[in-house]
Structure 1
Amino acid sequence: MPLPTSSPSAQHVDARGVLALLDALEAGGHDPHSLLVARHGHVIARGWWAPYSADRNQLVYSLSKSFTAATVGLLVDAGRVALEDKVFDLIPATEVPAGAEIHERFTRLTLGHCLTMATGHEVDAWTAAVGKAARTPSDDGTDPVLGAILANPPEQEPGTVWAYNQIATYLAGAVVRAVTGDGLLEFARPRLLDPLGAHDVRWHRTATGRELGFSGIHVGSDAILALAQTHLDAGRWDGEQLLSPEWVARAVAPSGLPNTEADPNPDWAQGYGCSFWNARHGYRGDGAYGQYAIVLPEEDIAIAITSEAVDMQAVLELVWAHLLPAVDRDGDAAADDDLADRLAALQVPTPASTGTGPDEASWTRAGDSTLPEAYGAASLSRSGAAYELVLDHDGTKAPITVGDGAWTESVLAVDGAELPVVAAGGWQEDGTFTADLRLIETPHSVQVRTHTDGTVTLGWREVPLHGPDPVNVAVRGPALPAQT
């Protein structure tokens, strides 16, 4: 059951602060996709910038870690594992490729070390070799990723230093698979995700079908808010104790270990718990490009934000600057109504025609394109009130419908992957054609900009962490490649 709704003023929040936050997110160029705020267990603000919407899931990158940690918490609460358990006592030898040796430091690595990023590595150990292993099939049922991880033992004793480390959460997910016999998503779905209202959840997997754990989950903003609210309420959700208060207290408490990679951003320098960051105000789970589950215990507030933000510290600064001062500040019904109207009308700026152009045109790839060279050309034809933009991918035609001043949905189908795309654009006064392609189940968008010399720039607004090929962020398709 979702949280009940309320006006901000009824929960002693001045709606003007939320309005100022909306303004600042837009003015700062943070490309916000959703903002949800709850206080005292009531949703006081809930909105999506169209074409993003409540019924869509989105890749949330490292916010996945917080969902993985909560799944481990279910096992800890059930007494099936303990944080003191040795990881390679829990993961059976049948998972480890033949010939892989377990260094003595790895024999002392515990589940708690993994959740707190205290593996003993001084830097992130998800190396190029591990990534290659994640794309490698297995004929014998073993996990090539484990072999690659074991080939790079920690420099220090586990539990003595902290470094943000993708393999740590991958190993925690491997423990879930080993102990339950289920995939991470399969185990989490009925016990965590379904109760939180996270539906049709998908997760990036390796070539052997194992979820990444540290990244790759696709969930909706309501589920992100529910995760934050559950931790705010000491593990209770919808009247039930989903996670124990003891687990939540442990999960959000900073480890206090020395950081091998000091971060200049103040809200990344306050300590790290079990896949939750401590901050100057409260704590949070987060993911690249501005995906947040923020918990403010002193204010009794939970927040969910999704976006394609580059400066994640700047987004937090806006929350501290605009929302926090509005807490326990007098509001009124007029401001509440203004906020409700604003939330209902949120929209990403929608490209449209400002000039005219031919009904058909074609271009070759410009040198400043950030999509891979396989995307070598594009062509365009008018289709009623919209356009059909066709990307040439190594000779395969991949059509996308582009609405003129209206977001229009289609599917980019490339190499067996299927990416829902919502696109808008049109001809400009200078004789060029521009379009924005929103890969709506991810934070990312592709900007199409043609030039009068017959070329077209096919460029990411921000290149995905998984690489420049759109295939790498897809979680749909009948022949989906391995995603890492």
Structure 2
Amino acid sequence: MTPAAEAGTAAAGIDARGVLDLLDALDSTPGLEMHSIAIASAGAVVAEGYWAPYSADRVHLLYSISKTWTATAVGLLVDDGRLALDDPIIDLLPGVGDLRIAPRWRQVTVGHCLRMATGHHTEAWGAAQVGAAGEPASINDLDPVVASILSHEPEHEPGTHFAYNQVATYLAAAAARAVCGQSVVDLLRDRVLIPLDVAELPWTRTATGAEIGFSGSHARTRDILALAQLYLDNGRHGGRQILSPEWVATAMASTGLPNPEGETIDWRLGYGCSFWTSQHGVRGDGAHGQFALVLPDQRIAIAITSETEQMQPVLDAVWRHLIPAVDRAGSSAADADLAARLRHLAVEAPLGAGPVTERTWQRAAGNVSSAYTGARLRPGAGGIHTLSLVRGEAVLETLVGESDWAESEWTDGDAALPVLARGGPTREGGYAADLRIIETPHTVQVRVAPGSEGVDLSWRNPPLNGTDPLWLAVRTRIPRIDT
């Protein structure tokens, strides 16, 4: 992506007033907390903003936008002629020949998997599969997660029924790894990630070391935007044809199969190869409000990260305010107002409002994993104190800024999880802090009522893969070397 246009959105044919109205609508939507937004026109970023403490340099858990990365990896192999969408999926999975396979699985193709048309009636993924037992395996070994998936036959004939479920994309990712002999990230790196200036793509993996494919990828907002722009530009970037126009058209074309579980309009319009058909264009989206919008009619791409349980209002705001602003005359005054607004975005969070004294609390309520049994508060210098969360035999030391965000790293074995925290004593005599799991949409809220001896450790919105925050970790701890 090229840098944000200095001339502003008006020069790109977008009225900045529409973007301002969009920001107003998003910030006033109940239950929605924005983390970032970026809008590109003609391949140039024309508006970009981050709600502090979220920032341009940090990756963000994308949830099911991960499916679009996986589909892109498959697209490379299709373009190379190394696999085809009508290839039976089990023919591509190493070690499967030794299994007894139900007849319907023999009919399931790569295309069925990418299009959520495997024949399943509903979600078929079990949370235990992420942690399937087994030592890290070579690319040629039978994946125990694949074996578990194939032990359950789909309820319908493949290609006849749409059911959004995770096993479909997991199998597509497994097939891609087997065909290319690499991980999905390694397959993407030289041909997609480096050309798009995607510095890294951390990904949640199973116990065997495989990317789960359907979720778990982490990328910057600019990276999401670049992915959307790649599809908007028919697979071309920087003068190079990265994906064929034929693949792009196939990926964005709806199968026409109805979604029986679609509760709102933009989830009832059809699904392609890991792209949803929208009222405008197509999109990759991920739980809790992550979006990669591809809008060919308006010639724009949009990336959004956020935290919400209701995603349709985000799209409604884009359709209502931004779409009409495209090809509408703007003004330099509106551009200036938008630039100022984008510089001062911030999430709401507690501020310290009293002296910090040493305190110890037992866990009283909340839905953070029961492994967390209490907390201890210790005062520090410079408006930063230490909140220690007791997690079984371990203690997670968390720096909490009273007025500014303080950063810590939680660790568990080799796993590391960055956390930003702000808060302190309340005016009423209690305690409140928000612990931002900053590379995800999620926040642990720490609350102590005035006079209480119990601490409430709860999620603002719980993650999809379990309640323990450390299960979100995708980074590896770098040992400190004392000199």
Q: Partners of 1:317 and 1:274 in 2: how far apart?
A: 23
**Given the alignment of the two structures, is residue 216 of structure 1 paired with residue 216 of structure 2, yes or no?**
yes
Q: Which residue number in structure 2 is paired with residue 57 of structure 1? A: 59
Q: Partners of 2:85 and 2:466 in 1: how far apart?
A: 34
**Given the alignment of the two structures, is residue 189 of structure 1 paired with residue 189 of structure 2, yes or no?**
yes
Give the drift of 1:139. Answer: 7.3
Aligned partner of residue 25 in structure 1, secondary structure: helix
Aligned partner of residue 203 in structure 1, secondary structure: coil
Which residue identity lines up with residue 392 of structure 1 in the other structure? V
Alignment of 1:10-89 (within 5 A): 10-28=11-29, 29-89=31-91
Q: Partners of 2:225 and 2:424 in 1: how far apart?
A: 36
Q: Which residue number in structure 2 is paired with residue 107 of structure 1? A: 106
1:398–1:281: structure 2 CA closer, same or farther, 3 Å change rule? same
Contact kept, 8 Å, 1:17 with 1:325, in 2: the verdict is yes
Aligned partner of residue 379 in structure 2, secondary structure: strand
Contact kept, 8 Å, 1:138 with 1:144, in 2: the verdict is no
Q: Partners of 2:208 and 2:94 in 1: how far apart?
A: 16
Q: Partners of 1:186 and 1:383 in 2: how far apart?
A: 44
For structure 2, list consecutive stretches of 5 or more residues without a partner in the other structure. 479-483
Q: Which is worse superposed, 23-32 or 147-156?
A: 23-32
Q: Partners of 1:78 and 1:258 in 2: how far apart?
A: 31
Q: Partners of 2:127 and 2:17 in 1: how far apart?
A: 48
- Specify which of 417, 420, 431 is matched with residue 419 of structure 1: 417
Contact kept, 8 Å, 1:447 with 1:461, in 2: the verdict is yes
Q: Deviations over 1:298-334 (max 9, x none)?
A: 1101000001111100110111111112112221001
1:471–1:97: structure 2 CA closer, same or farther, 3 Å change rule? farther
Contact kept, 8 Å, 2:75 with 2:243, in 1: the verdict is yes
Contact kept, 8 Å, 2:15 with 2:326, in 1: the verdict is yes
1:262–1:395: structure 2 CA closer, same or farther, 3 Å change rule? closer
Give the drift of 1:132. Answer: 5.5
Q: Which residue number in structure 1 is paired with residue 380 of structure 2? A: 383
TM-score, normalization: structure 1?
0.94
Q: Partners of 1:235 and 1:364 in 2: how far apart?
A: 55
Q: Partners of 2:263 and 2:187 in 1: how far apart?
A: 37
TM-score, normalization: structure 2?
0.94
Aligned partner of residue 72 in structure 1, secondary structure: helix
Aligned partner of residue 383 in structure 1, secondary structure: coil
1:87–1:363: structure 2 CA closer, same or farther, 3 Å change rule? same
Query: How many residues are treated as equivalent by the alignment?
Result: 472
Q: Partners of 2:455 and 2:367 in 1: how far apart?
A: 11
Contact kept, 8 Å, 1:118 with 1:161, in 2: the verdict is yes
- Specify which of 436, 440, 460 is matched with residue 434 of structure 2: 436
Q: Which residue number in structure 2 is paired with residue 257 of structure 1? A: 257
Q: Partners of 2:287 and 2:128 in 1: how far apart?
A: 22
Q: Deviations over 1:152-186 (max 9, x none)?
A: 11111111111101111001101111111101112
Aligned partner of residue 177 in structure 2, secondary structure: helix
Q: Which residue number in structure 2 is paired with residue 236 of structure 1? A: 236
Q: Partners of 1:258 and 1:359 in 2: how far apart?
A: 58
Contact kept, 8 Å, 1:97 with 1:143, in 2: the verdict is no
Aligned partner of residue 470 in structure 2, secondary structure: helix
Alignment of 1:135-214 (within 5 A): 135-137=133-135, 141-214=141-214
Contact kept, 8 Å, 2:258 with 2:269, in 1: the verdict is no
Give the drift of 1:89. Answer: 1.2
Which residue identity lines up with residue 347 of structure 2 in the other structure? V
Aligned partner of residue 66 in structure 1, secondary structure: helix
Q: Which residue number in structure 1 is paired with residue 123 of structure 2? A: 124
Q: Deviations over 1:338-372 (max 9, x none)?
A: 11111111111242122x24421111101x21111
Give the drift of 1:197. Answer: 1.7
Q: Deviations over 1:262-310 (max 9, x none)?
A: 3120000000000000011111000000000001111101000001111
Give the drift of 1:433. Answer: 1.2
Give the drift of 1:400. Answer: 0.4
Give the drift of 1:245. Answer: 0.7
Which residue identity lines up with residue 351 of structure 2 in the other structure? A
Give the drift of 1:137. Answer: 3.9
Contact kept, 8 Å, 2:422 with 2:434, in 1: the verdict is yes
Q: Deviations over 1:446-476 (max 9, x none)?
A: 1100122211100100000001001211102
Aligned partner of residue 476 in structure 2, secondary structure: coil
Give the drift of 1:109. Answer: 1.1
Which residue identity lines up with residue 470 of structure 1 in the other structure? P
Q: Which residue number in structure 2 is paired with residue 399 of structure 1? A: 397
- Specify which of 371, 374, 379 is matched with residue 374 of structure 1: 371
Aligned partner of residue 61 in structure 1, secondary structure: coil
Q: Partners of 2:392 and 2:157 in 1: how far apart?
A: 48
1:358–1:44: structure 2 CA closer, same or farther, 3 Å change rule? closer
For structure 1, list consecutive stretches of 5 or more residues without a partner in the other structure. 480-484
Q: Deviations over 1:395-442 (max 9, x none)?
A: 322110000110111112235431100110011111111100100111
1:226–1:416: structure 2 CA closer, same or farther, 3 Å change rule? same
Q: Partners of 2:150 and 2:109 in 1: how far apart?
A: 15
Give the drift of 1:258. Answer: 3.8
RMSD: 1.7
1:379–1:97: structure 2 CA closer, same or farther, 3 Å change rule? farther
Which residue identity lines up with residue 372 of structure 1 in the other structure? S
Q: Partners of 2:303 and 2:415 in 1: how far apart?
A: 29
Q: Which residue number in structure 2 is paired with residue 482 of structure 1? A: none
Give the drift of 1:53. Answer: 0.7
Aligned partner of residue 363 in structure 1, secondary structure: strand
Contact kept, 8 Å, 2:349 with 2:433, in 1: the verdict is no
Q: Which residue number in structure 1 is paired with residue 473 of structure 2? A: 474
